[in-house]
Structure 1
Amino acid sequence: MFALEAQGLVIDWTQMPTYNTIMSLAAGAGLITLVYFARALATDREVHLESWALAFAAPGIILFTTGLHMTLTWPFAKYFPFDNIIFGEPSLGFGVVLLIAAFYLWKRSTQIAAGGDSAAYLAKVARPLSLLVVGLGLCLIAIAFAGVIFQLFAAPPEEPISGAFAEYPMVEAIFMSGLFALVGVGAILFPFALRGFSLGAKFTRVQWIVGIVWGLSGLGFFLFGALNFFTHIGLIVNTMG
């Protein structure tokens, strides 16, 4: 698949389908959308739930499709099998959650609005799902530890921008692991944030923490995914041979 030749690294890209660019962008968009949706529920009197259903469905479809394909086919299996777990399985889980949320909001928007307190209503509905969310959070924390301990995520020197840190693998390992850890912390605190909505409280301390960690990590994944559309294309150009 790849070899070191006189001119540098050469990769056979036909043997390594790569699409974690759009996955990162969609994951970031999904996290940011969740934060804004929670804010809208707590502050707006009239929330157009159908529009939020569309906002969840778009990244949900991307993450479910790409995550399922990566989880079942392991496109990085020959040389980077851990990447299939790191990127594929969390994307699949998050995509399923977003699609379930989108479907429910689309089908039950009238019933939810008629209940008066949409935030409290949805918090009670989402409470059983919080077990899966916490589980995904624990998985993300485990990925974060693995990223630092095994110094994963380092880009080769042939990759523009990110490759400048190729001699310092801990830089990208800490950065990416930090993003995964932030999402994981928010997911673990998710049931407690729901409890604040169930009790009618407005912006509890836990809700602030979840909003900050998901907002920051979502922005990080969003911008990093967008950047990778340049850096990954540059890597392909520099390693085609």
Structure 2
Amino acid sequence: MDFIYGDDTGLVIDWTQMPTYNTIMSIAAGAGLILLVLLGRALQRDKAFRAEGWALSAGVLGFILTLTGAHMTLTWPFAKYFPFDNIIFGETSLGFGVLLLAASFYLWKRGGRLADSEDRAAEAAATAKPLGIFIFGLGLALFGIAAAGVIFQLFAAPPEEPVSGAFAQWPWIEAAFMSGLFALIGVGSVLFPFALNSFSSTRPISGVAKTMGVVWTVAGVVFLLFGALNFYTHIGLIVNTMG
């Protein structure tokens, strides 16, 4: 890493060259994954389904991820110190954010018809089916990120970062942790188009859909909590490296 170590101050980072906002991105991504799982359950089970609340939630999260993901993808704010993070966090957040915005638009415009459908889940699945190609591709990309994280031991925090920095001398720990999260989301993403084939309000949920729901829920909860923790750890890193 292109860090600067002062004679007396230790690690010094020029934060004017690295605007950091993957904290809110992590929370939004985790909440978005959980939202999709809960939306699927509501479509299948909730007899009093109301689309407006789901549309608003998807819109809020999609806006955050699209805005921050697009900025990171197009401007590479981490280029000086962590250039690979612009791809890992920026491009994946952009893709997920646009998908959530599309879901928000659909639910807002077609929510009434969806709620009145005899099989809401099958109706939604038929609409989402063409997006399965892109989501499957994102899943493969997430496997690539997970492999790169392990092979190149990415994601390791410097010792100056609170909590995460305690494992700085064992970079494989955080590499395995973050790579495992990306791999979990990847599993759910590659299963998505296959889960749609049997998604229905009138039939029991398939094993494929259950597996997708479990891995997205686990990864979503961890990403949300990890993002919340990073509000402390990243602020601490900034304080400890301002020079």
2:119–2:200 Cα contact (<8 Å) kept? no
1:124–1:198 Cα contact (<8 Å) kept? no
TM-score, normalised relative to structure 2: 0.97
Q: 2:238 maps to what in 1? A: 236
TM-score, normalised relative to structure 1: 0.97
Matched, 1:131 2:133: yes
CA distance in 2, matches of 1:91, 1:85: 9
Of the three residues 57, 60, 64, the one matched with 2:59 is 57
Q: 1:96 maps to what in 2? A: 98
Q: May I ask how many residue pairs the two structures share in their alignment?
A: 241
Letter in 2 for 1:164: A
Percent identity of equivalent pairs? 65
Structure 1 unaligned regions, length at least 5: none
User: Once the two structures are superposed, what CA deviation does each residue of 1:116-146 show, in whole Å capped at 9, x if it has no partner?
Assistant: 2111100000001100000111101100000
Q: CA deviation at 1:89?
A: 0.1
Letter in 2 for 1:144: A
Q: CA deviation at 1:58?
A: 1.1
Matched, 1:206 2:223: no
Q: Could you list the structure 1 runs, at least 4 aligned residues long, displaced by more than 3 angstroms after superposition.
A: none
CA distance in 2, matches of 1:13, 1:50: 40
Q: 1:85 maps to what in 2? A: 87
CA distance in 2, matches of 1:202, 1:58: 31
The 5 A counterparts of 1:54-203 are 54-198=56-200, 200-203=202-205
2:62–2:100 Cα contact (<8 Å) kept? yes
Structure 2 unaligned regions, length at least 5: none
Comparing 65-74 and 107-116, the one that deviates more: 107-116
Q: CA deviation at 1:170?
A: 0.4
Letter in 2 for 1:90: T
RMSD between superposed Cα atoms in Å:
1.2
Letter in 2 for 1:126: A
Distance 1:199 1:127, change over 3 A: farther
SS at match of 1:197: coil
Q: CA deviation at 1:201?
A: 2.8
Matched, 1:4 2:5: yes
1:42–1:202 Cα contact (<8 Å) kept? no
